[in-house]
């Protein structure tokens, strides 16, 4: 099953973002991934095409409205035609979607008295908790969901096998009826077929005419490397089944990344706090930080390092989602003062203190000099 990344996710925008925000996000990404700036890199070219496709849909109010309701299925064969950038040839099919989105506010039904479009099944949400290691490497995992699926007995038609749906005699298949009220004509859903345009005279015994039944599904979810907390993965057509053969909704997987024992994440940057001894801080040395990639990353500590210093290890962070390369690892050093000293260690430190001139710790010496000046003043 192909995993389709949400257009809003691709552009890094919230679903309710205004056009200015969407345009600004697209320009930044287009400049970043333009093939001319990346030496024809295939990964950059693919990313550039993806963000361009997302922008072509979200910049158009009508296409965006259809996408918000139908997702990627709005621009596939049978709904929206040949892709998001299909141009004028998609207009006829797209008008069907537009009518489905806005039809109930514009009198309902098709022009000319045709039967109303059946309403697709509801989109569903599934929250999945993953480790930071899974977010780093990616994974393919199975989930079990309880959902309304297509009835196998009637194949989703809602009618007993061997029979079929009949045109509603009340509305003539239009799914709506009209009534004259003074100078106005009021249209409402047909009370006999409830807007479907058809009735089931002999309903399926298993689904009772709905065309769908409750069932448990086992689905495979492909988690790409580099996902972050809140990343949304869409499984097309795996949501609630539509009534009587209507299209199914989608299933959205929301990822929640658990806290890691060593690292804190900020985008593609990994932050780690590392305590070091005061002798290592004074004399310099090295420490090894085990990375999520399974390698020990050596961090070189300069002599005279102060507590709170940050050392950056390039390319040791998280992978770029659907991109190329990795972020950085930032190690925050904390100098630890020893609490237990042997007699020999205490003797050596006492000898060192006797040799101090104040130049070893200029900040401390300057601080106490200011105190003396303030007191004498």
Burial 152-175 (b: 16+ CB within 10 A, else e): eebebbbbbeeeebeebeebebbb
Q: Binding site annotation covers 204?
A: yes
29-43, 88-102, 323-337: least confident range: 88-102
Which carries the bigger pLDDT value, residue 310 or residue 14? 310
Return d(Cα 166, Cα 159) in angstroms, integer.
Answer: 10
CATH class of 263-376: mainly beta
Q: Give the phi and the psi of residue 277 in degrees, each rounded to 5.
A: -70, 155
For residue 62, name the pLDDT band (cuts at 50, 70, 90).
confident
pLDDT tens string 157-195 = 889 998 988 899 998 888 888 887 766 778 888 888 877
Residue 168, marked binder: yes
pLDDT, tens digit, 9 for 90 and up, residues 104-153? 433 444 433 444 556 788 999 999 999 999 999 999 999 999 999 999 99
Q: Which residue has the higher pLDDT, 287 or 62?
A: 287
Buried b / exposed e along 87-97 (16+ C-beta atoms within 10 A): eeebeebbebb
Give strand pairing partners of 212: 150
Q: Annotated binding residue at 151?
A: yes
> What is the reported pLDDT for 366?
61
- d(CA 160, CA 158) in angstroms, rounded, equals 7
Question: Known binder of ligand: residue 207?
Answer: yes
Is 154 annotated in some ligand binding site?
Answer: yes
Per-residue model confidence (pLDDT) at position 93: 40
pTM of the model: 0.59
């Amino acid at each position: 099953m192909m995993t389709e990344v949400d257009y809003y996710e691709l552009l890094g925008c919230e679903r309710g973002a205004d056009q200015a925000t969407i345009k600004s996000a697209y320009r930044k990404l287009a400049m970043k991934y333009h093939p001319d700036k990346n030496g024809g890199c295939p990964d950059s070219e693919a990313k550039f095409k993806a963000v361009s496709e997302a922008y072509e849909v979200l910049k158009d109010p009508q296409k965006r409205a259809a996408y918000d309701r139908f997702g990627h299925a709005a621009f596939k064969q049978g709904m929206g035609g040949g892709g998001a950038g299909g141009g004028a040839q998609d207009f006829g099919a797209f008008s069907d979607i537009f009518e489905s989105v806005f039809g109930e506010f514009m009198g309902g039904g098709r022009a000319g008295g045709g039967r109303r479009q059946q309403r697709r099944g509801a989109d569903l949400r599934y929250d999945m908790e993953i480790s930071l290691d899974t977010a780093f490497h990616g994974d393919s995992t199975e989930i079990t969901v309880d959902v309304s699926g297509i009835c196998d007995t009637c194949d989703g038609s809602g009618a007993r096998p061997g029979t079929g749906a009949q045109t509603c005699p009340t509305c003539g298949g239009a799914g709506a009826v009209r009534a004259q009220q003074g100078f106005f004509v009021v249209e409402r859903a047909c009370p006999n077929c409830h807007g479907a345009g058809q009735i089931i005279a002999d309903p399926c015994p298993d689904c009772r005419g709905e065309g769908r039944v409750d069932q448990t599904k086992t689905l495979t979810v492909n988690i790409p490397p580099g996902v972050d907390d809140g990343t949304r993965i869409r499984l097309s057509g795996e949501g609630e089944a539509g009534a009587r053969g209507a299209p199914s909704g989608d299933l959205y997987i929301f990822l929640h990344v658990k806290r890691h024992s060593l690292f804190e994440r900020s985008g593609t940057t990994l932050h780690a706090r590392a305590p070091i001894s005061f002798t290592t801080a004074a004399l310099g040395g090295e420490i090894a930080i085990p990375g999520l990639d399974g390698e020990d990353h050596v961090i070189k500590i300069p002599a005279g390092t102060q507590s709170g210093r940050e050392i950056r290890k390039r390319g040791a962070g998280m992978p770029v989602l659907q991109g190329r390369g990795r972020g950085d690892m930032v190690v925050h050093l904390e100098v630890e003062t020893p609490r237990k000293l042997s007699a020999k260690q205490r003797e050596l430190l006492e000898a060192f203190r006797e040799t101090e001139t104040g130049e070893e710790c200029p900040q401390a010496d300057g601080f106490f000099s200011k105190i003396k000046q303030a007191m004498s003043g």
